[in-house]
Structure 1
């Protein structure tokens, strides 16, 4: 189906960011120096406010500068320190791989459910960040108006009012997605699984990022599919050159990617790269399952576009949900599966028949009443402050040799620890101290990333989190020292 073609100014802000980065590296801009204001940049260089903001957001995501409320942007105090080096892009082994991660994932997730655990390993933000009272009132109000016929009328593709509201959100971001293309599901994971089922058969190979979201690996395992892991940069997403080689060599049947705030890396693929990605897949008629659940959790004034914005052939099966941005626990997601819309709707009927009709009606009512964007602005501010606090705590406390990059959205921070630190051992010792984390091996079909962890900044930062981060850093430092000593003894 046709989509509108949004205009971007990516090259301009990237060039500005590159110039400022070079000045920081050369010592022209030193730690603590204040960067020119947006007004000064506009007057002296002729850049639009949007270009300057995007360049500054990009530099902030790399840990090179920091925002000080009501004061502007400053070169980060440790911009020349080892802690601000980026995690290295991995080089996964070539070829497809059978997947067997479910036992590991279940062990790790099941070990950190207690309320007294500091949840740095959680995949969920704090529920108090969401308008639960308003959602509750919308649920009561909409339920009173439900009619018996709605129980049949709202079978897949789902509640028409809610699908219209979702289509309006697409339109707000410059995408023309028809209401009839949207299929409501039990959260994004059902949408992603239905789309994967629609475009593959057992034994097929599917391209995933390296590292990748562990539930994507579980979905491949459940359907008897093989994973092809492709190197992925911590800021810019999957390596398109390697992806092109993989497509030629191994003929995968689909790709499952996160172009916006990838879990666990937090990477945000530049708009030009998203366009190139879609062009590459179109040349091979290869479907892309796009997991886009964090797209509303961006910094700045402009939402990042999904790869679907550049799709002209219906090859992108776009999936998202309200779980991360509005209504955790309500389990309402959707798919906009392009040319596979009818097949996904059919699979939804065959597997779970229908979503929760009262909950879909409640979300439709909430969105129609207004206030969603006001809530999102507050949520983004909270998450940005929490990202800053967690990132700064890592740079202050973690051992030398740690690598980390601050993402420009979402609520995950990917940390590469010194090689001597075993992430699984750190997970167990931290859990004994009441702290959870997500160890790197759960994000790989080959159990790679042995000295990496994913940390969550979805909880409001307080003294408890600061103490827990110092404890976690001490445990990592002890593990690094013990590993070095063991190696020296050998």
Structure 2
């Protein structure tokens, strides 16, 4: 048994005891030495167990005293229900609601809990500006010339190199650069499907992906999704005869923040490959993990080129730069043809600048700080929700990403809450945005990409008061 698997197995066992109440908040855990004796493991493995649990905010380290079960409120707040979308429902896009919420994007007068992106205050803006200047000096003709169709070679090289962290083993020639991840997904959908085809997706799901699929004429089959472990594989297996494509966000999807296990990812890749169904994997949040190790991707288990892995720096470094990429596997030529038709070339200067930032090592330093900040923000949000929101409020427990899913009692309509909140200069994302069906009306997504402050705490308190009112 590998050490990585062993420490995770032990950590998961303790985590299960905490979640089920066998170990209660404030209980002291065995010492490192005692854990070594109980499980016949070395000191380093035992320490990794505690580090893993600490990274999940399940335990606290107290100097000279040891490790104790955390009293973090999310351990007491119940999880939202597993989604139960209808397989027979008509696709009913909430256009008006989506347009109303996203019209707020960039409005400095609002507290934007609705936008899933890190605040500029959390991004290395000054360093990025220097990389832009450097790129104009290094590129041919100052960056005014067209890039190769596949995109900036330096960017493709560094993305391929970084794929080793999640078992991707990509080569620069495996990648095509795009104008953000949504452009990558769009090219994949156009290359692989046609109007009338059925695409399987998680439910709830990012509105942009739902809108994109509908705009291209696809029928969307929403599948049950657990708020922690992700897509219900049994439901996918049952749906296989009905679908032509599958589009998933296995790592910290929005709005749930769920994360599929490696075993589930491998099973999904094998299942879809056996039936010749392409899998488009949106891994835009993969670098925003709260643990000690970046999660693997479905692409990690792809041996036949059937997984099209899409990602970008939009959620980690520079949302407005629109720099993304796709590793399309055996569908590479189809995507290149479409990129030529739709965009010819990517923005040379921006891609070169991002490549320089990723290659320098500054990106890893930035990610470490960003992950710590986001995890701290998440913990503060949960504390505020426990303190100020209505009783019986439920929350997801993301292990990474930018969003938390909040479920109220059935009689709470978050569209009404949105209208009330906007009058107080607070913007939320009502749950109905994240589905094409009549569900999630009592849910909302809150994004914790804003720097934590007393003002943010006050806005959450105000939001809780408004929720109680309705």
The CA deviation string for residues 421-471 of structure 1, in whole angstroms up to 9 with x for no partner, is 101001111111111111000000114101001001101111111111111
Structure 1 SS opposite 2:87:
coil
The CA deviation string for residues 168-190 of structure 1, in whole angstroms up to 9 with x for no partner, is 01123332112112011111110
Structure 2 SS opposite 1:329:
helix
The CA deviation string for residues 289-324 of structure 1, in whole angstroms up to 9 with x for no partner, is 111011111112211011100011111100000111
Distance 1:270 1:256 in 2: 17
The CA deviation string for residues 186-228 of structure 1, in whole angstroms up to 9 with x for no partner, is 1111011111111110111100101011101110121011100
Which residue pairs with 1:13 in the alignment?
Answer: 8
User: TM-score if structure 1 supplies the norm length?
Assistant: 0.89
Structure 1 SS opposite 2:224:
strand
Structure 2 SS opposite 1:255:
strand
1:155: how far off? 2.8
Structure 1: stretches of 5+ with no match in the other structure: 1-6, 480-490
Which residue pairs with 1:338 in the alignment?
Answer: 329
Structure 1 segment 154-303 matched on structure 2, within 5 A: 154-248=147-241, 250=242, 252-303=243-294
1:150: how far off? 6.5
| Distance verdict in 2 for CA 1:80–1:129, change over 3 Å | closer
Distance 2:393 2:37 in 1: 39
CA contact (8 A) 2:147 2:347 kept: no
1:119: how far off? 1.4
Which residue pairs with 1:117 in the alignment?
Answer: 110
Distance 1:37 1:141 in 2: 51
CA contact (8 A) 1:142 1:361 kept: yes
Give the counterpart of 1:422 among 395, 413, 416.
413
CA contact (8 A) 1:96 1:205 kept: no
User: TM-score if structure 2 supplies the norm length?
Assistant: 0.92
Which residue pairs with 1:98 in the alignment?
Answer: 91
| Distance verdict in 2 for CA 1:73–1:429, change over 3 Å | farther
The CA deviation string for residues 248-307 of structure 1, in whole angstroms up to 9 with x for no partner, is 3x1x11111110001100001111111111111111111111110111111122110111
CA contact (8 A) 1:211 1:232 kept: yes
Q: Does 1:41 align with 2:35?
A: yes
Which range moves more in the overlay, 50-59 or 138-147? 50-59
Which residue pairs with 1:401 in the alignment?
Answer: 392
Distance 1:288 1:185 in 2: 18
Distance 2:374 2:443 in 1: 22
Distance 1:36 1:24 in 2: 17
Structure 2: stretches of 5+ with no match in the other structure: none
Distance 1:72 1:134 in 2: 40
Distance 2:66 2:214 in 1: 48
Structure 1 segment 433-452 matched on structure 2, within 5 A: 433-452=424-443
| Distance verdict in 2 for CA 1:130–1:74, change over 3 Å | same
Instruction: Count residues with an aligned counterpart.
Output: 465
CA contact (8 A) 2:7 2:49 kept: no
Distance 1:419 1:10 in 2: 40
The CA deviation string for residues 25-70 of structure 1, in whole angstroms up to 9 with x for no partner, is 455x33222334555433442352476147626864xxxx354686
Distance 2:197 2:169 in 1: 31
CA contact (8 A) 1:96 1:229 kept: no
CA contact (8 A) 2:426 2:459 kept: yes
Which residue pairs with 1:488 in the alignment?
Answer: none
Distance 2:3 2:225 in 1: 23
